[in-house]
Structure 1
Amino acid sequence: MRLYANYAISHQVAKDMAYCQHQVQSIEIKALFLYTESHPDVVIIIANSLNMMRIVQGYAYHFGQLKNTKVTGNQAICQECTSYPFERDQVNFSFLCSGTLHVAKWREEEIGIGIPFHYLDKIIDGICQTANPMASNKAKKLILEKAAKLGLSNQIYIKLGNNYYTGGYGTLEYHRRINNQIMK
């Protein structure tokens, strides 16, 4: 296939892959909300880079930096999003691969992530906890609209005009002005 420059690199990549150590009987693929009587081992999400950023920020809120990721741009769903997260009990992302891009018809700007199920609640909480400092007003308004449609408005706290990159938490100049006012 000529995916790698030589046999040594190909061998190293193959040797370094995470293979499931048990006999797999079957797989079940369905929307997460349909899991009512059991839960999956791994949750796979395909999204754009903005949503992936928010997922990783949610992870980082509770667990710190995402470390020891494995990415080759090959074996995207099977290894990078499934067997590696399952065998290593670790979140891993994937830029997907030619096979899944063409067969599943993902958009070129989409990225995959595999999450061991037991991390999911904390990641979702982290996304919620970091919405005010990280999300734009446009994104926050969308969150508020969706929450209202789902009857969840009373379960979220969203503050417009409050994010770190526009100075909502105070720029250096803002803090200098405040300090000067206090000293007067």
Structure 2
Amino acid sequence: MKKEVIEFRTLLEFEKNRRLVGVKFLFSEQEYESLHVREATHQMFFCMMIKAATMGHSMKVKKEHIYCSAASEVLGFTEPCQEVRTGKQQYERNMYGTRDAALDIACDTPYLSHKVYGMCIQPLEVFEEKPDIVLAFCRPYTAMRIIQGYSYQYGMAKQIRFAGMGGICTELMARSYKNQDMNVSFLCSGTRFAGEWKDDEVGIAFPFKMFLQVLNGVRDTMNTFEPDDKKEEILQRARINGITLNVEMGTNYHGSSLGVAQMGVTGYRRKKEKKGKIIYE
């Protein structure tokens, strides 16, 4: 697991304190107690637990540790009330402009029907057992590359849905788990405030069973999609991380034999080779 996570972080650009996160549902007290991971010491938002894991912290949590009722409801710890199920509460809080819009969101919220006892939340590479969901937080460019890796293996991502609400608990964790597919989130106001995410960070999640295939897709599309300056950055990370990659300069599809398109210029900048390097006139 650790080797694959290192390669994933080599092929893609992540900030140092943004590790991949794994989450595993725990369905019994025995399963929870037998897990040798430190229990959370206090209540916090679920998204803050995820943020802590991106920074290297591990924890196991139960219902009483989750401060946010919305997360507790959508993840299967508690049942949502009728006012929430119908969108009435959300409409009255002015989260949506019409009752129909509130009802539409409420009906499409991916409430998990299982009864869960707890969760294990850790950096992905420290998991000894397979987690259920992988979450990544990154800039849009890195999210694009993850999606390209997914598309290379699975085709069009058909389950991507978001509303800017419940960014981590609902859009990433619950929807990816319920659909057993990838989802993308621009997060929500709550987690951007509580978790102090940067304005240019987005989230992406998918079942762990897809992790190796997505990794393979990212690797196999590197030479096709990455420009040479990005490939240089990848090589630098590879040297630091001790990873061997087959990086080919001057091979991306948008820098074809014709050259590359340039904003404000008619036609293409012509591609030439000079002293063994590809340059553009």
TM-score range, shorter chain: 0.7 to 0.9
State the alpha-carbon separation in 2 of the partners of residues 8 and 161 from structure 1.
52
What is the CA distance between 1:169 and its match in structure 2? 8.3
State the alpha-carbon separation in 2 of the partners of residues 170 and 133 from structure 1.
15
What is the CA distance between 1:8 and its match in structure 2? 2.0
State the alpha-carbon separation in 1 of the partners of residues 226 and 120 from structure 2.
33
Match of 1:23 in 2: 115
Q: Can you list the C-alpha shifts for 1:101-120, whole angstroms capped at 9, x where unaligned?
A: 11111111111111111011
Are the counterparts in 1 of residues 110 and 174 from structure 2 also a CA contact under 8 Å? yes
1:158 to 247, 266, 272: 247
Distance 1:29-1:169 versus aligned 2 partners, 3 A rule: farther
State the alpha-carbon separation in 1 of the partners of residues 226 and 257 from structure 2.
11
What is the CA distance between 1:147 and its match in structure 2? 1.4
Q: Is 2:147 the partner of 1:67? A: no
Are the counterparts in 1 of residues 159 and 179 from structure 2 also a CA contact under 8 Å? no
State the alpha-carbon separation in 2 of the partners of residues 142 and 32 from structure 1.
23
Q: Can you list the C-alpha shifts for 1:52-75, whole angstroms capped at 9, x where unaligned?
A: 000000000000111131110001
Counterpart secondary structure, 2:146: helix
1:23 maps to amino acid: K
Are the counterparts in 2 of residues 161 and 168 from structure 1 also a CA contact under 8 Å? no
Q: Can you list the C-alpha shifts for 1:37-95, whole angstroms capped at 9, x where unaligned?
A: 21210111111100000000000000011113111000110111011110111100001
What is the CA distance between 1:28 and its match in structure 2? 2.0
Task: Please list every run of 5 or more consecutive structure 2 residues that lacks an aligned counterpart in the other structure.
Answer: 1-92, 261-269, 272-281
Are the counterparts in 1 of residues 159 and 182 from structure 2 also a CA contact under 8 Å? no
Between the aligned residues of both structures, percent identity stands at: 30
Counterpart secondary structure, 1:113: strand
Distance 1:135-1:99 versus aligned 2 partners, 3 A rule: same
RMSD (Å) for aligned C-alpha atoms: 1.7
Are the counterparts in 2 of residues 163 and 169 from structure 1 also a CA contact under 8 Å? no
Are the counterparts in 2 of residues 134 and 164 from structure 1 also a CA contact under 8 Å? yes
1:44 to 117, 132, 135: 135
Q: Is 2:240 the partner of 1:149? A: yes
Are the counterparts in 1 of residues 135 and 205 from structure 2 also a CA contact under 8 Å? yes
State the alpha-carbon separation in 1 of the partners of residues 257 and 192 from structure 2.
39
Match of 2:217 in 1: 126
2:179 maps to amino acid: R
What is the CA distance between 1:168 and its match in structure 2? 5.2
TM-score normalized by the length of structure 1: 0.87
2:107 maps to amino acid: K
Are the counterparts in 2 of residues 90 and 116 from structure 1 also a CA contact under 8 Å? yes
Distance 1:137-1:167 versus aligned 2 partners, 3 A rule: same
Match of 1:3 in 2: 95
Match of 2:202 in 1: 111
Match of 2:167 in 1: 76
Counterpart secondary structure, 2:120: coil
Which consecutive aligned stretches of 4+ in structure 1 deviate over 6 angstroms post-superposition? none
Match of 1:100 in 2: 191
Higher strand proportion, which one? Answer: 2
State the alpha-carbon separation in 2 of the partners of residues 87 and 68 from structure 1.
10
